Structure 1
Amino acid sequence: RGTRSRKRNVFCHPMQPCSVESVRVGAIIEEALEKLSFLASITPDIVAHRDELSQTVGDEITRILAQQRTLESRYEELVGQRLALKAMSNKRYKENQDEVRTVARALRESTNELCRNLKGNPNIAENLSKVQVERSGLHALLARTLRELHDGSFASLTSAVEEEAARTSNIAEIMEREKEAAFAVGQLKADLAAERRGHDEDVEKRDEEIARLKEQLSEAKASTSVEVRYLAQTVRASCQTLRRLSSAETANLEEEIATLRKELEIEERAHRESEDFLRRKQSALQQDVEAWMGRYETELEELDRELEGLKASWRQSRS
C-alpha cells in the first residue's frame, strides 16, 4: 500500500487525480446518476398518489373534529343539567359530576390527538416537490462534476461545496437562535405560571384570614349580645360600658378587614401588571421568532437566487 501511495504521489498532481482514479470516480458518479435517473423515472407514480395520501390525512382530521364537536355538545348538556340536579338527590348529582370529568378528559385527549395529527402530517405534495427539486439539483451537480473530472478542473464543485457549507452554517445559526428564543418563551411561561400560583396562594391565605376574622367578629357579636342581655337586668351603666367595648372591638376588626381588603386589591393589581408584562414579553419574543423565521426564508431565497445566477454565469462561460 505504501509503494502504491508513493507511486501515485510521483505521477499525479495534488489537485488532479490519476487516470485510474478518474475512471473509478467517474464510474461511481455515473452509477449515482443512473440511480438518480431511475428515482426520477418513478417519481410520477409517487406524485400521482399524493392526492390520495392528502385525502387520507384530511379524513382523519375531519373525524377528530367531528368527535370534538360531539364531546363539546355533550359537555354543555351536562353542565346545563348540573344546575337542575343540585336540588335533587346527591347520587344523580355525583353521576353527573363523574360524567362531566370523563367528557372533559376525552375532550382533552381528542385535542391532543388533533395537535399530533396536524404536527405530524405536513403538506405531502410540497414535500414531494422539495425532494424532486433537491434530487434534480444533486443530479446536475454530479453531472457537472463528472464533466469537470474529465476536464481536470473542479471550480464548480468547489464553489458549490463552499456555498452549501455557508448555507448550512447560516441555517444552523438561525436554528440555534430560534432554539434560544423558544427556550426564553418557555421560561417566561414557567415564570408566569409560578406567579399565578403564588397569587392564588396569597388570595387563598387572605380569604382564610378574612373568614377567620369574620368568625371572630360573629363570635364577638354573639358574646357581646349575651353579656348585654345579662347585664341589662342589673346595671345599665355596666351594659353601656360593655357596648362601648364591643363597638370598639367591632370597629377594630372591621378596620382590619378593610385593611386586608386594600392589601388584597394591591396584590391583585400588582399581579395583573406582572401578568401583562410577562404576556407582552412573551409576545415580543414570539415576534422575534417570526422575524428570524422570515429572515431565514429571505436569506434562503437570496442564496437560491445567487446559486441560480452562478449556474447561469457558468453556463454562459461554457457556451
Structure 2
Amino acid sequence: MEGNFEELIGKRADIQLTPPPLLNKLRDLKEQVHETSEKLKMSNVQFTKAVRQSPLTSDNLKKVQADRQFAADVIADMLMELETSGSFQSLQHAVAIEKEKKANLYDTIAREQEGRKKIKLLQRQLQDVKQEKKVELQNRTELIAHLKDQLQEMKAKTSIEGKYVKKDTELQVSQTQKKCNIAESDLQLELQKIKEKMDEEIRVHVEIENFLRQHQQELEEKLEYWMEKYDKDTEEKQAELNSLKTSRTNDLSLLSDLTKQFEEYETVITEDRLEKEKAQQKKKQEKMELASAIQIQAWWRGTMVRKSLGPYVKTKGKKGKDTGKKGKAKKAGKNKK
C-alpha cells in the first residue's frame, strides 16, 4: 500500500507538470490517493488493535502509540498539502527526517556494538594481565621462600663454622702456651743446674786454692799438673757454657716466633669478631627497614580508605556496601599493624 501511494503521488506530480494539466486525471488521482490514504489509516488502526491485544510491555506500547500518532499526523499534513497545493513535500520531508533519525540510530547502535567489543577486549586483556601478575606474584613468593631457606642454611652453616674456628684457635693457642711453658720450665731447670755446677766449680776451685795454699810446699811439684788440669777443665766448662748459651739463644728465637704467631692468631680472631658484629648490625638495619616499609604501607592503605582512592572509591546507590567495605578495610589494616 505504501508503494502504491508513492506511485500515485509521483503520477500526480507528473500530470501537474504537463501543460495544460488534465483536470479529470488529476481528480481521479486525488480520489485514488484519498482511498490509498484511507487504507493506510485502516491498516494503522488494525495494527494498533493487534498491538493492544498482544502481550507487550508498557514501553513498547507507548512507542507504537507514538509511531501511530506520528504516521497519522504526517498523513493528515500530506492530505492538507495535497488539497491546498497539490504537492507532498511534507511527506518527503518527514521521510527524510525519519531516514536521518534511523541512520543516526544505526550509527549509535554500531558505535555501541563497537564499544561493547572494545570493552570485552579490554576486559579480556585485564583478565590476562591479572592472571599474569598473579603467576608472577606466586613465582616471586616462591623465590622469596627459597631465598629465606637458603639464608637460614647459610646462617646456621656460618655459625657452626665460626664456633669450630674459634674452638680450634683456642685449642691451638692453649697447646702453644703449654709447649712454651714446658720449654721455659725445662730451660729454667737446665739453667739452675748450670748455676749449681758453676757454684760447685767455684767452691771446688776455692777449696783447691785453699788446699794448695795450705799445702803449697807439698804440692809445689804437683802445681803445674793441677794448673794444666785446671785449664783443661775450664776450657771444657767454657765450651759447655757456650753450647748452653747457643741453645738458649735458639730457644729465645723460637719463643719470639711463637709469640708472633700468637699475635697473628689474635688479629684473625679480632677481625672475625668485627665481621660478626657488622653482620648483626646489618640484620638489625634490615629489620628496621622492613618494619618502616610495613608502617608506610599501612599508612598508605589507611589514607586510600579515608580519601576513597583506588579500589575504595564510593559508588552511588551502594552506600551501605561501601561503609561495610570501609569497616572491613579498617579491620584488615589494624590486623596487619
- TM normalised by structure 1 equals 0.42
Larger-gyration structure (1/2)? 2
Higher relative contact order (CA 8 A, sep 6+): 1
